[in-house]
């Protein structure tokens, strides 16, 4: 797929003009809520359950706001793909400091590939110099949307960022990897996904909540984007984790190994 970032926008970025930042801002079941599986095994219970911003997306938004405060960005736009009742969720992001919001209305959750295709459509409209997403959402833990979006957009990606610095048309990103830390440099526009240690999101104050009520939210029906479907995973059943069994005290290592062999674990 050809790069959809126009030449005019790329020239502006090279000259150091402030850019737009697009931030994915997903709504999930609050991390303090104890998840309950529906009796029929078709999903998890969400009725009457507290819903909150995905913690990694709050980190992504905070980083975008800091870049704007540094004069690197001129506008921060949050976007969510969610049912029609997600307006309060977007108002939370606007109260945190985003300039405006985009709500792609869908009857239910979408999978990472479909989400990446939606964000690609938004990129074609917004023309951001940087797209920031949380490294994963705590409801599905897929950690796929950012990588898929970079591939569809044909732009560089820097995942699991614990430090982000932008200078001119390049970003220097410190990544958290299995072996420790890795620092890479990518050309902008690019996709960055955020890890926990990147920052600590700011506290939202009451005056900011009041100001957020007047900030614009653009509503787009998912069907109007003509998103290609396919290549998705179908979930057949949900089940809670097995209850933890009682511990067993052993006298020595030999007895421990014997018990593990009986259970077929070694």
* Range of the structural domain that residue 92 is part of: 7-262
Task: Report the half-sphere exposure of 36 (CA within 13 A, side-chain side).
Answer: 9
Per-residue pLDDT, 230: 66
The candidate with the shortest Cα–Cα distance to 48, out of 30, 64, 62, is 30
Indicate whether 242 belongs to any domain.
Answer: yes
User: Could you tell me the CATH number of the domain that includes residue 248?
Assistant: 3.40.50.620
* DSSP single-letter state for residue 188: S
Q: What is the pTM of this model?
A: 0.81
pLDDT at site 3: 45
The span from the CA of 92 to the CA of 211, in Å, is 11
| Residues whose CB is less than 8 angstroms from the CB of residue 47 and which lie 6 or more positions away in sequence, other chains included | none
Assigned domain for 172 exists: yes
Q: Which residue has the tokens 């998890």?
A: 44
- Classify residue 98: in a domain, yes or no: yes
Q: How far is CA 163 from CA 76, 106, 108, 182, 218, in A?
A: 19, 33, 33, 10, 31
Which residue reads 């009725």 in tokens? 47
Residue 217, in any domain of the structure: yes
**Whole-angstrom distance, CA of residue 114 vs CA of residue 219:** 18
pLDDT tens profile 143-176: 999 999 999 999 999 999 999 999 989 999 999 9
- Number of domains the chain is built from: 1
Asked if the structure places residue 173 within a domain, the reply is yes
Q: What is the pLDDT of residues 181-208, one digit of tens each?
A: 999 999 999 999 999 999 999 999 999 9
Coil vs helix vs strand at 82: strand
DSSP three-state, residue 52: strand
Q: Extract the tokens encoding 105.
A: 């209305």
Residue 2 inside a domain? The answer is: no
**What is the SS3 assignment for 208?**
helix
Residue 101, C-beta contacts closer than 8 angstroms, at least 6 positions apart: 25, 77, 78, 79, 80, 90, 93, 94, 215, 216, 217, 218
Contact indicator for 214, 101 with CB cutoff of 8 Å: no
Which residues of the chain are modeled with pLDDT < 70?
A: 1-17, 230-231
The rounded radius of gyration (Å) of the Cα atoms in the chain is: 21
Task: Report yes or no on 1 lying in a domain.
Answer: no
């Amino acid at each position: 797929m050809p790069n959809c970032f126009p030449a005019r926008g790329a020239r502006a970025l090279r000259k150091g003009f402030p850019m737009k930042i697009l931030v994915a801002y997903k709504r999930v079941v609050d991390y303090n809520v104890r998840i309950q599986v529906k009796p029929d095994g078709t999903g998890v219970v969400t009725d009457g359950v507290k819903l909150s911003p995905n913690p990694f997306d709050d980190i992504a938004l905070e980083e975008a706001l800091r870049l704007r405060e540094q004069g690197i960005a001129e506008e921060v736009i949050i976007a969510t793909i969610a049912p029609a009742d997600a307006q309060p969720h977007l108002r939370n992001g606007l109260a945190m400091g985003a300039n405006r919001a985009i709500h792609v209305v869908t009857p239910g959750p979408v999978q990472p590939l479909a989400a990446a295709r939606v964000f690609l459509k938004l990129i074609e409209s917004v023309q951001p110099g940087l797209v920031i997403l949380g490294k994963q959402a705590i409801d599905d833990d897929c950690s796929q949307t950012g990588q898929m979006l970079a591939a569809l957009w044909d732009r560089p990606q820097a995942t699991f960022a614990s430090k982000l610095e932008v200078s001119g048309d390049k970003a220097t990103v410190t990544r958290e990897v299995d072996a420790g830390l890795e620092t890479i440099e990518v050309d902008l526009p690019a996709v960055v996904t955020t890890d926990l240690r990147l920052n600590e999101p700011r506290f939202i104050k009451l005056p900011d909540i009041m100001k957020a009520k007047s900030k614009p939210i653009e509503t787009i029906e998912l069907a109007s984007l003509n998103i290609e479907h396919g290549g998705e995973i179908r979930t057949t059943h949900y089940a809670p984790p097995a209850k933890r069994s009682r511990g067993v005290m052993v006298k020595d290592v030999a007895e421990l190994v014997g018990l593990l062999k009986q259970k077929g674990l070694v």
